[in-house]
Amino acid sequence: MRISFVLSNEVRSFSPFAAEFEEISAAVALYNFSFSLDALAASFGIFKILRYFDLQINLLILRESVARGVGDLATFTAILMVMIFGFALAGMNIFGQESVAYIDPLEAFSTMFLTCLGQYDFDEMLLINDIFAYIFFIVYQVFVFLIASLISH
Protein backbone atom coordinates (compact mmCIF):
# COMPACT_ATOMS: atom_id res chain seq x y z
CA MET A 1 0.00 0.00 0.00
CA ARG A 2 2.82 2.40 0.79
CA ILE A 3 4.50 1.65 -2.52
CA SER A 4 1.27 2.23 -4.45
CA PHE A 5 0.85 5.50 -2.55
CA VAL A 6 4.34 6.72 -3.42
CA LEU A 7 4.00 5.63 -7.06
CA SER A 8 0.53 7.11 -7.59
CA ASN A 9 0.26 9.90 -10.16
CA GLU A 10 -1.28 12.34 -7.66
CA VAL A 11 1.68 12.08 -5.30
CA ARG A 12 4.37 12.06 -7.97
CA SER A 13 2.94 15.11 -9.76
CA PHE A 14 2.12 17.07 -6.60
CA SER A 15 3.93 20.35 -6.09
CA PRO A 16 3.34 22.37 -2.91
CA PHE A 17 4.39 25.50 -4.80
CA ALA A 18 1.78 25.23 -7.56
CA ALA A 19 -0.17 28.40 -8.36
CA GLU A 20 -3.53 26.62 -8.58
CA PHE A 21 -5.33 24.24 -6.26
CA GLU A 22 -4.60 20.54 -6.82
CA GLU A 23 -7.10 17.87 -5.84
CA ILE A 24 -5.30 15.20 -3.80
CA SER A 25 -8.20 13.64 -1.89
CA ALA A 26 -7.68 10.26 -3.61
CA ALA A 27 -4.04 10.20 -2.51
CA VAL A 28 -5.01 11.19 1.02
CA ALA A 29 -7.61 8.40 1.14
CA LEU A 30 -4.98 5.89 -0.03
CA TYR A 31 -2.55 7.19 2.61
CA ASN A 32 -5.15 6.84 5.39
CA PHE A 33 -6.13 3.37 4.16
CA SER A 34 -2.50 2.24 4.34
CA PHE A 35 -2.35 3.31 7.98
CA SER A 36 -5.57 1.43 8.70
CA LEU A 37 -4.03 -1.72 7.25
CA ASP A 38 -0.92 -1.14 9.37
CA ALA A 39 -3.08 -0.93 12.49
CA LEU A 40 -4.85 -4.14 11.54
CA ALA A 41 -1.53 -5.91 10.93
CA ALA A 42 -0.21 -4.71 14.30
CA SER A 43 -3.33 -6.08 16.01
CA PHE A 44 -2.84 -9.49 14.42
CA GLY A 45 0.81 -9.36 15.45
CA ILE A 46 -0.16 -8.78 19.07
CA PHE A 47 -2.60 -11.70 18.95
CA LYS A 48 0.18 -13.93 17.61
CA ILE A 49 2.23 -13.11 20.70
CA LEU A 50 -0.42 -14.82 22.83
CA ARG A 51 0.74 -18.23 21.66
CA TYR A 52 4.05 -17.69 23.49
CA PHE A 53 2.10 -17.56 26.76
CA ASP A 54 2.33 -21.37 26.79
CA LEU A 55 6.02 -21.11 27.63
CA GLN A 56 5.43 -19.55 31.05
CA ILE A 57 2.81 -20.96 33.46
CA ASN A 58 1.63 -17.62 34.89
CA LEU A 59 1.01 -16.20 31.44
CA LEU A 60 -0.80 -19.40 30.44
CA ILE A 61 -3.13 -18.96 33.43
CA LEU A 62 -3.75 -15.37 32.38
CA ARG A 63 -4.58 -16.38 28.81
CA GLU A 64 -6.97 -19.10 29.95
CA SER A 65 -8.69 -16.72 32.38
CA VAL A 66 -9.21 -14.15 29.64
CA ALA A 67 -10.47 -16.85 27.27
CA ARG A 68 -13.05 -18.01 29.83
CA GLY A 69 -14.27 -14.47 30.44
CA VAL A 70 -14.68 -13.42 26.80
CA GLY A 71 -18.19 -14.88 26.47
CA ASP A 72 -19.51 -13.13 29.57
CA LEU A 73 -17.79 -9.91 28.58
CA ALA A 74 -19.32 -10.05 25.11
CA THR A 75 -22.80 -10.54 26.58
CA PHE A 76 -22.34 -7.68 29.02
CA THR A 77 -21.00 -5.40 26.29
CA ALA A 78 -23.90 -6.20 23.96
CA ILE A 79 -26.50 -5.50 26.65
CA LEU A 80 -24.73 -2.29 27.68
CA MET A 81 -24.56 -1.06 24.07
CA VAL A 82 -28.27 -1.76 23.54
CA MET A 83 -29.11 0.13 26.74
CA ILE A 84 -26.92 3.08 25.79
CA PHE A 85 -28.42 3.17 22.29
CA GLY A 86 -31.94 3.16 23.73
CA PHE A 87 -31.12 6.04 26.04
CA ALA A 88 -29.41 7.85 23.17
CA LEU A 89 -32.63 7.69 21.15
CA ALA A 90 -34.59 8.92 24.17
CA GLY A 91 -32.07 11.75 24.64
CA MET A 92 -32.48 12.69 21.00
CA ASN A 93 -36.24 12.97 21.49
CA ILE A 94 -35.94 15.03 24.67
CA PHE A 95 -32.88 17.23 24.04
CA GLY A 96 -32.12 16.83 20.33
CA GLN A 97 -33.88 19.97 19.09
CA GLU A 98 -31.81 22.29 21.26
CA SER A 99 -28.57 20.44 22.00
CA VAL A 100 -25.75 19.62 19.61
CA ALA A 101 -24.79 16.67 21.81
CA TYR A 102 -28.06 14.88 20.92
CA ILE A 103 -28.50 16.07 17.32
CA ASP A 104 -28.23 12.65 15.61
CA PRO A 105 -28.08 8.99 16.74
CA LEU A 106 -24.29 8.69 16.50
CA GLU A 107 -23.65 11.91 18.41
CA ALA A 108 -26.25 10.98 21.02
CA PHE A 109 -24.69 7.52 21.41
CA SER A 110 -21.22 9.00 21.92
CA THR A 111 -22.65 11.52 24.40
CA MET A 112 -24.33 8.75 26.39
CA PHE A 113 -21.18 6.64 26.28
CA LEU A 114 -19.14 9.56 27.60
CA THR A 115 -21.78 10.08 30.28
CA CYS A 116 -21.23 6.47 31.28
CA LEU A 117 -17.54 7.32 31.67
CA GLY A 118 -18.32 10.40 33.78
CA GLN A 119 -18.07 13.21 31.22
CA TYR A 120 -21.41 14.96 30.82
CA ASP A 121 -22.88 18.46 30.62
CA PHE A 122 -25.78 18.35 33.04
CA ASP A 123 -26.17 22.14 33.04
CA GLU A 124 -27.01 22.11 29.33
CA MET A 125 -29.63 19.45 29.94
CA LEU A 126 -31.10 21.54 32.77
CA LEU A 127 -31.37 24.58 30.53
CA ILE A 128 -33.32 22.62 27.94
CA ASN A 129 -35.76 20.81 30.23
CA ASP A 130 -35.06 20.72 33.95
CA ILE A 131 -37.62 18.07 34.99
CA PHE A 132 -36.75 15.63 32.20
CA ALA A 133 -33.05 16.30 32.76
CA TYR A 134 -33.26 15.02 36.34
CA ILE A 135 -35.48 12.07 35.43
CA PHE A 136 -33.42 11.10 32.37
CA PHE A 137 -30.08 11.38 34.16
CA ILE A 138 -31.13 9.46 37.27
CA VAL A 139 -32.84 6.67 35.32
CA TYR A 140 -29.83 6.41 32.99
CA GLN A 141 -27.41 6.12 35.90
CA VAL A 142 -29.59 3.52 37.62
CA PHE A 143 -29.96 1.41 34.48
CA VAL A 144 -26.38 1.62 33.33
CA PHE A 145 -24.59 1.17 36.62
CA LEU A 146 -26.92 -0.89 38.76
CA ILE A 147 -28.73 -3.05 36.20
CA ALA A 148 -25.65 -3.59 34.04
CA SER A 149 -23.60 -4.56 37.07
CA LEU A 150 -26.31 -7.03 38.13
CA ILE A 151 -26.37 -8.54 34.65
CA SER A 152 -22.62 -9.05 34.73
CA HIS A 153 -22.84 -11.16 37.89
Residue 24: which pLDDT band, with cuts at 50, 70 and 90?
A: confident
Q: Is the pLDDT of residue 8 over 80?
A: no
Res 86 pLDDT > 90:
yes
All structural domains of the chain with their residue ranges: 1-52, 56-153
User: Residue 153: what pLDDT?
Assistant: 62
pLDDT tens digit sequence for 42-70:
888 888 887 777 778 888 888 888 889 89
Q: How many residues does the chain have?
A: 153
Q: Say what the pLDDT of residue 85 is.
A: 94
Contacts of 82 (CB under 8 A, 6+ apart): none
Q: CA-CA distance, 145 to 147, in Å (whole number)?
A: 6
> What Å distances lie between residue 87 and 12, 21, 111, 119, 140, CA to CA?
50, 45, 10, 16, 7
For residue 82, the Cα-to-chain-centroid distance in whole angstroms is: 14
Which range has highest mean pLDDT (8-12, 54-58, 86-90)?
A: 86-90
Q: What is the pLDDT of residue 92?
A: 93
Whether 127 and 62 have beta carbons less than 8 Å apart is answered as no
Q: Report pLDDT digits (tens) over 117-137.
A: 888 888 888 899 889 999 999
pTM above 0.85, yes or no: no
